[in-house]
Chain A
Amino acid sequence: MEYCVANVAGDAREGVVALPTETRAYPCLERCGTCRDTPFLVVDGAVVTAGSHRTLCERIGGEVA
Chain B
Amino acid sequence: MNVLLVSIDSLRRDFLGAYRDRPRPLDYDVATPNLDRFAGRATVFDTHYAGSLFCMPTRREWLAGVQEFPWRGWGPIEPFDVTVPRAARTTGTFTRLVTDHYHYFQHGAAGYYEDYNAFEFVRGHEFDAWQASPRAPDERLLAQAAATSADGVGFVDRAQYARNVAGFDEEDETDFFAPQVFSDAAAFVASADWDDWFCYVDSFDVHQPFHCPEPYASMYTDEDPRDPDLSFWPRWGRVDGGQGAITERELAFARSQFAGKVTMVDRWFGTLLDALDDRGLWDETAVVVTSDHGYSLGDHGHVGKVHMPMYDVLARTPLLVHHPAGDGGRVTDLTAAVDLHPTLLDLLDARSAGDHPHGRSLLPFLTPGDGSGGAAATGGDDDAAPHRRWALYGEWGSGACVTDGRYTYLHPCDPAEPALAHSTEMLNPRGVFHPRTPEPDAEAGRFLPYADAPVWRFEGEAVRRHPDPLLFDVEADPGQREDVAAERPAVASRMRDLLGEALAELDAPKSFADRLGVTARAD
Contact = CB atoms under 8 A, between A and B. Distances in A.
A27 B243 contact: no
B237 A33 contact: no
21 contacts: A5-B430, A6-B428, A6-B430, A9-B461, A13-B461, A24-B242, A24-B307, A26-B307, A27-B397, A27-B398, A28-B306, A28-B307, A30-B236, A33-B157, A35-B434, A36-B155, A36-B434, A42-B243, A44-B241, A45-B242, A45-B245
A52 B412 CA distance: 30
Interface residues of A, number: 25
B380 to A, nearest CB: 38
Interface residues of B, number: 30
* 7 residue pairs, one from A and one from B, having the closest CB atoms: A33-B154, A32-B156, A6-B430, A5-B461, A6-B431, A27-B463, A45-B243
A36 B242 contact: no
Given A28-B431, A31-B156, A32-B156, 4 more contacts: A24-B242, A33-B152, A42-B243, A45-B245
A2 B243 contact: yes
Given A2-B242, A6-B430, A27 B395 contact: yes
B105 to A, nearest CB: 16
Interface in A5-62: 5-6, 9, 13, 24-37, 42, 44-45, 47
Nearest to A29: B243
A33 B155 contact: yes
Interface of A: 1-2, 4-6, 9, 13, 24-37, 42, 44-45, 47
A9 B433 CA distance: 17
A21 to B, nearest CB: 11
Given A27-B395, A27-B397, A27-B398, A32 B415 contact: no
Nearest to A32: B156
A31 to B, nearest CB: 8
B153 to A, nearest CB: 8
B464 interface: yes
Contacts of B434: 32, 35-36
A27 B430 contact: yes
Interface string B35-60: 00000000000000000000000000
Nearest to A17: B415
A36 B238 CA distance: 24
Nearest to B159: A33
A37 to B, nearest CB: 6
Contact of B154 (A6, A25, A34, A42): A34
Nearest to A43: B242
Contacts of A29: 243
A33 B434 CA distance: 9
Contacts of A28: 306-307, 430-431
A45 to B, nearest CB: 5
A32 B464 contact: no
Contacts of B245: 45
Nearest to A25: B463
B155 A32 contact: yes
B226 interface: no
Contact of B156 (A13, A33, A42): A33
B431 A36 contact: yes
A34 B431 CA distance: 11
B109 to A, nearest CB: 15
B154, B395, B428: most-surrounded residue (chain A CB, <10 A): B154
Nearest to B431: A6
Interface in B194-248: 235-238, 241-245
Given A26-B307, A27-B398, A28-B306, A2 B433 contact: no
A26 B397 CA distance: 11
B159 to A, nearest CB: 10
A2 to B, nearest CB: 5
Contacts of A32: 154-156, 431, 433-434
A44 B242 contact: yes
A14 B321 CA distance: 49
Contacts of B430: 4-6, 9, 27-28
Nearest to B395: A27
B238, B243, B428: residue with the most chain A Cβ atoms closer than 10 Å: B243
Nearest to A46: B243
B154 A27 contact: no
Nearest to B396: A27
A28 B460 CA distance: 13
A45 B235 CA distance: 9
Contacts of A45: 235, 241-245
A2 B238 CA distance: 11
Contact of B242 (A5, A37, A42): A42
B154 A37 contact: yes
A47 B148 CA distance: 10
Contacts of A27: 306-307, 395, 397-398, 430, 463
